Amino acid sequence: MCMTDQHYDAFPYPARDPADEAKRLVTGSPSHPHEIDTVLYGGARDWSQPFKVLVAGGGTGDGLVMLAQVLADAKAPYEITYLDQSKAAREIAEARIAKRRLKGVRFETGSLVDAADYGSFDYIDCCGVLHHLKDPVAGLKALERALNPGAGLGFMVYAPSGRSGVYPLQEAFNGLYGALPPEEKLEAAKKVMATLPEWHPFRRNALLSDQLRDPSGFYDLLLYAQDRAYRVDEWLAALGEAGLELTRWDAPALYDLGMITEVPEGMDPVVAIALCEKLRGTLGKYTGYAQRKGEVSAQVTVPSMGLVPHLDAPRHVLAKAVAAGKPLKMTTQGVTFRLKLPEEAAAIIGRIDGKTRLSEIVKASGLEPIGFQALWLKLHKALTATGSLRYSSLGRS
């Protein structure tokens, strides 16, 4: 059940320096509160109510720090429990939280398979952990037991297509150097890496080169003794076995076969997603949200005028491009989407500041409500498909 390779004490991952907290906040998906609100609450969560979170396998703290800082900035009440087996990683996460002087975080050293022992939660973040367990489904079941009714799980697990070349190297390195201490194992593997031929599949995979820049990234990518990747149909089946089902992917367009080719009538949706994955060929991970079967939140298809929209990109840059008739270029996991939006949408995009409700934007735009809604639906469909548009009143005074 527990991870057999305790290399995270030797090489905490990802490499983070608490001193850098003064310079930047690492953000991403899943687990940004605006995205959580959008996917699990239809953008309408009451953030005056306490939000109880478990960060299961928190590593050096990226997800933890993002959650705590965004919620603290918005003055939203929260309780976050950090859980990880690595004491070295925990120390870095603690130092990062201390550097930001954030409160409301409890640190625990332990395994996510014991998640329910630490309480029940409104949300669980679990990124980059389940695929390292001996029994990932047992880990999912443990997390399911720790969810409150209607609560959600944010996940990230490895996918095979975008990790071409990784698993043959893992098998070779662990076969050769698996008995060595982590530091010696790393040095031996680095020497062999320098001899890989130009046409080795890993050499040709430009999507993973960033992870070799530091020892912790190299080790996590190529030397982990317990690591598996899921096909998309396998991952959906694993969720189902644990009593969970997918709520939404972080960027649904990545899994939409209809954006590549015409989908045969009557094709099973899971088959369609699996074929889309094969045609994309670059997905190295799956990121999204899941809930208990029967509790999955309905996704926003026609946004209420009371919602507060947020953009995951500078609004003025997007508005300028749209006004000039240029397509918006969104790239994720090696896939680039070019979104052509009506030029008149520029004025609306420029007013999306994360504080203004749609009802207030429509008044400021000077458009008739019906015309505004038709235009907004085009924006909503295009930008939520790429994970670029979110809804939340968090931080609205």
For residue range 130-171, list pLDDT tens digits in order: 999 999 999 999 999 999 999 999 999 999 999 999 999 999
* Same-domain check for residues 50 and 113: yes
* Same-domain check for residues 369 and 232: no
* Same-domain check for residues 109 and 134: yes
- Residue 89, C-beta contacts closer than 8 angstroms, at least 6 positions apart: 8, 9, 12, 13, 58, 59, 60, 61
Is residue 11 over pLDDT 60? yes
Establish how many alpha carbons lie within 13 A of residue 181's alpha carbon, considering only the half-sphere containing its beta carbon: 4
In a domain, 11, yes or no: yes
Strand positions, DSSP E, 44-129: 51-56, 78-84, 105-109, 121-127
In a domain, 123, yes or no: yes
* Same-domain check for residues 335 and 264: no
- The 10s digit of each residue's pLDDT in 273-311 is 999 999 999 999 999 999 999 999 999 999 999 999 999
* Same-domain check for residues 263 and 361: no
Tell which of 292, 321, 349 closes a domain.
292
Number of structural domains, the chain?
A: 2
* Same-domain check for residues 117 and 264: yes
- The 10s digit of each residue's pLDDT in 317-327 is 999 999 999 99
- What pLDDT was estimated at residue 6? 65
Scan for tokens 């928190």, then name that residue: 58
- The 10s digit of each residue's pLDDT in 316-367 is 999 999 999 999 999 999 999 999 999 999 999 999 999 999 999 999 988 9
In a domain, 214, yes or no: no
- What pLDDT was estimated at residue 209? 81
* Same-domain check for residues 322 and 261: no
- What pLDDT was estimated at residue 211? 85
DSSP 8-state symbol, 235: H
* Same-domain check for residues 350 and 379: yes
* Same-domain check for residues 235 and 285: yes
* Same-domain check for residues 14 and 156: yes
In a domain, 239, yes or no: yes
Q: Among 383, 160, 386, 158, which residue's Cα sits nearest to residue 280?
A: 160
CATH code for the domain of 272: 3.40.50.150
* Same-domain check for residues 255 and 378: no
Tell which of 247, 263, 292 closes a domain.
292
**pTM tops 0.75, yes or no:** yes
Q: Range of 375's domain?
A: 309-391
Planar angle of CA 101, 105, 106, nearest 5 degrees: 130
